[in-house]
Every structure is written in structure tokens, then in C-alpha cells.
């Protein structure tokens, strides 16, 4: 049985069949719609209003590959014993020999911010479009140069990946956008303060106001009140303050980490759990020999992890089991890719000039070392060749050791900077 009909769930069903499983497959979903892709919800909020169906994106239909599909039947509980697994739903229990948990994550919205929207589902995207005055998306000619509706004011709370992406497309369509970030730099959770701060100038160039280092005190009807007393008028407020694993239904059945994730080993089996359970995608925090515990929130892991999980479940050898964490984003006029996991105490080195026009890349090295350093992560800005280099470097059994001088020379291909 597969619980969760997002990308990790759809890929799990397809992998079960691709790897030769011919038993019965049940797929439970919570949204009542066929699996679709989430990254376009923000990047193409206005220019692609219909969901990007995964049957098209993946070229295979997970619903057709399953025997029993219940898209509007959220799992409410799990029981595991020697005889199998049982998942409780409002329509009764579903039993199987094994379960793959793929319930992903849910957007966080602080309880007092009732007037704020979030963006995690296709239904959320529909509400946000309507609030911005584009209920059917952008029609040709809409936008700053066209016959646009009166500009609306959007306040985005949180300068993370999703907040910046929505700010980009909304501002391009003529919406008056302010992004408020409590920390002192955008993308600070993912990149740390030093590298995150290098992205701050992009906001103004994209026509977006950015306020960092200030907290939201209240979301009120028609306005956002900040901790410093400022009041920002708003026709729409988007809370883009992160997501949390959607694992409440597993309480009591599996141990959950403080952030709600399930700790899994390299094969997606819960640490200390039954062989009958696997957890994939955003719900899992995966152990990696190279990177330690890798949290969810990575589309690529949700896409590729299921092949590893299914191989383990079926007793096969996985081809590639320690995937490097990888996040991509298109925002504020830039193509971004983050490979690996920057550590809080890592040393940052730059490759290329953030003030120039040719793109640049940040490298993180584990503390210590001299002329050679252990590379932990790579953040490439408009540098597709460095994305390919990072992918190759972070595919080995251990973190690569680079000659720092060569690694920071943008004229030298990253893999050619390997030390020794």
C-alpha cells in the first residue's frame, strides 16, 4: 500500500511495477485529485494555472498502475504487526503486507495568521491567484505593460525558496510586492547568512521590496503589522514560512523526530522499525554516509528515493542509494541550484563575482584543512556547468577533497579541482 499521492507516492507505485511487483497495490491520497507536480505552483503560479499532472511529467500513469486508487481517503492511523500493516481511513481499514509512507509535508501557517494564505497545493494556488486578481492566470496582455487590473498589494512573509519565487512572478505581473523576512538575510535557513545576503540585491532589481530582520506582529484584515510598528497594507498575505512533515497520522506507530519527520536509513526503512514500512519524500529525514541526516523538502529526493525504497522492500540491490541533496529554483531573474548540505560551521568560498554578470558559485568546506578542503555543498547561480560539476563531485562514497585555489577559479571546471 502506498499512502500519499504526490510525486513520491506516484513514483513508488511506478517503481513497484517497474521492479516486477505484481501483487495488489492500493494508493491513498488526501487531495481528491490525480498526482501533480508542486514546483510549478510557485514558478508558474500565473502563467500556468492548470496543475502539471505527473502522468504527463513522468510519462507514466501511477493511477493506472495501481489496483485500488482512493484519492480522497486520507490515512488517519497506522498499525504494524507480524501479520502485516493496517491503515485506518474514514471509510474503514485497509490492510496490506507492507506500506510506503509518502505523505510529504504541509505548509506552516502560524495559528494567529488566519488571514494569510499558504502555497502547497493546487487549491492553495487557485486561492492565491484569485486574491492577486488573476483567477484564471495571466491572460495575454496582462501585466505591467498591458491592460492589467488595478495593482494589488501582496505581502509575502518569508524570503525562502517559495516566497521569493511567488514574489518574482507576482511583481512581473504588476502586483506591488513586499517580502518580510524575520532573519537577517533571504534564504538563510538553506544557505546561511553570508551567502543568503548575496541574494538580497536581487529583490529590488526584480521590483520587489525586501524587509529583513523584522518579525510580523500580526496579520490583520487588509494589512500586516510588523514588530517595528510599520503597517503594510495588503490585499493578499502569503505565509511562506516553511513546511512540516505531514506525519501526524503516524503518531504512536512510528517514532517521529521533533520536526515531525521519520528518521530512515539509506534504504528508507525507519530506523529501528519493521521491514514492512518505508518512508519516502518530504516525510523522511534520511541518513546519508556523506551528508549526515538529510531533511525532506527536496523534489529530486522525492523523485528518485522511491526506486531505492522499493528495491529494499523487494529485497533487491539499489543501483544508487546515497543521493546528494539537491534543490533548484528560478527566482528574481536567476537560475539556482544547491547541491549537498551546508554545515553551520563550514567555511564559504566564492567562485566568480556576485556583482558580475556571468554568474557565481558558493562552495562550502568542512572546518579545518589547509590548501585542500572537504567540499560539503555547492550553490550555483546561473552557472549550469557548476551544477553538472557538483553532481559529479557529490556522487562518490565520501565527500570530495578539493584544492581550494583551483576550486575558486571559475575558469577551471569544478571536477578538475579534485586534490591529489
Ligand X SMILES: Cc1cc2nc3c(=O)[nH]c(=O)nc-3n(C[C@H](O)[C@H](O)[C@H](O)COP(=O)(O)OP(=O)(O)OC[C@H]3O[C@@H](n4cnc5c(N)ncnc54)[C@H](O)[C@@H]3O)c2cc1C
Interface residues with ligand X (CB under 6 A) are 3-9, 28-31, 38-39, 41-42, 74-75, 102-105, 119-120, 162, 246, 249, 281-282, 297-300, 302, 327-329
Contact 169, 47 (CB under 8 A): yes
Please state the three-class secondary structure of 9-63 as a single string: HHHHHHHHHHCCCCCCCEEECCCCCCCEECHHHHHCCCCCCCCEEHHHHCCCCHH
Radius of gyration for the chain, computed over Cα atoms and rounded to the nearest angstrom: 22
User: Which CB sits closer to ligand X, 94 or 219?
Assistant: 94
User: Which CB sits closer to ligand X, 43 or 276?
Assistant: 43
User: Which CB sits closer to ligand X, 330 or 374?
Assistant: 330
User: Which CB sits closer to ligand X, 202 or 249?
Assistant: 249
Residue in the structure block whose three cell numbers are 520536526: 259
* Residues pairing with 106 in the sheet: 244
Closest C-alpha among 234, 240, 406, 235 to residue 329: 240
We find the least distance from the C-beta atom of residue 225 to ligand X, in angstroms, to be 26
B/e letters for 338-369, b = 16+ CB within 10 Å, e = fewer, are bbbbbbeebbbbbbbebeeeebbbbbbbeeee
**Quick check: helix, strand or coil at residue 245?**
strand
We find the least distance from the C-beta atom of residue 153 to ligand X, in angstroms, to be 21
Closest C-alpha among 84, 74, 62 to residue 104: 74
User: Which CB sits closer to ligand X, 32 or 149?
Assistant: 32
We find the least distance from the C-beta atom of residue 336 to ligand X, in angstroms, to be 9
We find the least distance from the C-beta atom of residue 220 to ligand X, in angstroms, to be 25
User: Which CB sits closer to ligand X, 38 or 406?
Assistant: 38
| Residues whose CB is less than 8 angstroms from the CB of residue 308 and which lie 6 or more positions away in sequence, other chains included | 266, 267, 268, 318, 320, 321, 323
Phi, psi of 163 (to 5 degrees): -60, -45
We find the least distance from the C-beta atom of residue 141 to ligand X, in angstroms, to be 26
We find the least distance from the C-beta atom of residue 228 to ligand X, in angstroms, to be 29
How far CA 190 is from CA of 51, 196, 332, 355, 395, in Å, comes to: 27, 8, 17, 21, 20
We find the least distance from the C-beta atom of residue 121 to ligand X, in angstroms, to be 7
User: Which CB sits closer to ligand X, 168 or 329?
Assistant: 329
Amino acid at each position: 500500500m502506498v499512502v500519499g499521492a504526490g510525486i513520491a507516492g506516484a513514483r513508488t507505485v511506478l517503481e513497484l511495477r517497474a521492479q516486477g511487483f505484481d501483487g495488489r497495490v492500493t494508493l491513498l491520497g488526501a487531495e481528491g485529485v490525480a498526482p501533480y507536480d508542486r514546483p510549478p505552483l510557485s514558478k508558474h503560479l500565473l502563467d500556468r494555472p492548470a496543475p502539471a499532472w505527473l502522468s504527463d511529467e513522468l510519462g507514466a500513469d501511477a493511477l493506472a498502475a495501481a489496483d485500488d486508487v482512493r484519492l480522497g481517503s486520507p490515512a488517519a492511523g497506522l498499525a504494524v504487526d507480524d501479520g502485516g500493516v493496517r491503515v485506518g481511513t474514514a471509510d474503514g481499514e485497509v490492510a496490506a503486507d507492507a506500506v510506503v509512507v509518502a505523505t510529504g509535508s504541509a505548509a506552516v501557517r502560524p495559528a494567529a495568521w488566519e488571514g494569510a494564505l499558504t502555497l502547497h497545493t493546487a487549491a492553495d494556488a487557485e486561492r492565491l491567484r484569485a486574491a492577486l486578481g488573476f483567477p484564471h492566470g495571466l491572460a495575454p496582455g496582462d501585466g505591467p505593460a498591458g491592460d492589467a487590473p488595478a495593482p494589488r498589494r501582496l505581502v509575502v512573509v518569508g524570503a525562502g525558496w517559495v516566497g521569493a519565487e511567488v514574489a518574482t512572478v507576482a511583481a512581473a505581473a504588476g502586483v506591488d510586492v513586499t517580502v518580510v523576512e524575520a532573519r537577517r538575510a533571504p534564504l538563510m535557513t538553506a544557505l546561511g547568512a553570508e551567502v543568503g545576503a548575496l541574494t538580497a540585491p536581487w529583490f529590488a532589481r526584480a521590483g520587489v521590496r525586501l524587509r529583513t530582520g523584522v518579525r510580523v506582529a500580526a496579520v490583520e484584515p487588509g494589512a500586516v503589522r510588523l514588530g517595528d510598528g510599520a503597517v503594510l497594507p495588503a490585499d493578499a498575505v502569503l505565509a511562506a514560512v516553511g513546511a512540516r512533515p505531514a506525519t501526524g497520522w503516524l503518531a504512536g506507530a512510528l517514532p517521529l523526530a521533533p520536526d515531525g519527520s521519520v528518521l530512515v536509513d539509506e534504504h528508507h526503512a525507519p530506523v529501528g522499525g519493521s521491514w514492512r514500512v518505508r518512508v519516502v519524500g518530504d516525510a523522511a529525514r534520511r541518513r546519508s554516509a556523506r551528508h549526515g541526516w538529510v531533511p525532506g523538502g527536496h523534489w529530486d529526493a522525492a523523485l528518485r528515493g522511491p526506486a531505492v525504497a522499493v528495491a529494499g522492500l523487494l529485497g533487491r540491490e539499489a543501483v544508487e542509494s546515497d543521493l546528494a541533496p539537491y534543490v533548484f529554483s528560478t527566482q528574481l531573474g536567476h537560475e539556482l541550484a544547491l547541491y549537498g548540505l551546508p554545515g553551520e560551521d563550514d567555511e564559504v568560498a566564492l567562485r566568480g563575482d556576485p556583482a558580475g554578470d556571468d554568474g557565481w558559485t558558493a562552495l562550502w568546506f568542512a572546518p579545518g584543512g589547509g590548501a585542500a578542503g572537504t567540499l560539503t555543498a555547492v550553490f550555483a547561480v546561473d552557472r549550469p556547468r557548476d551544477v553538472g560539476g557538483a553532481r559529479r563531485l557529490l556522487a562518490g562514497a565520501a565527500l570530495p577533497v578539493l584544492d581550494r585555489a583551483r576550486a575558486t577559479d571559475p575558469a577551471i571546471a569544478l571536477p578538475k579541482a579534485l586534490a591529489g
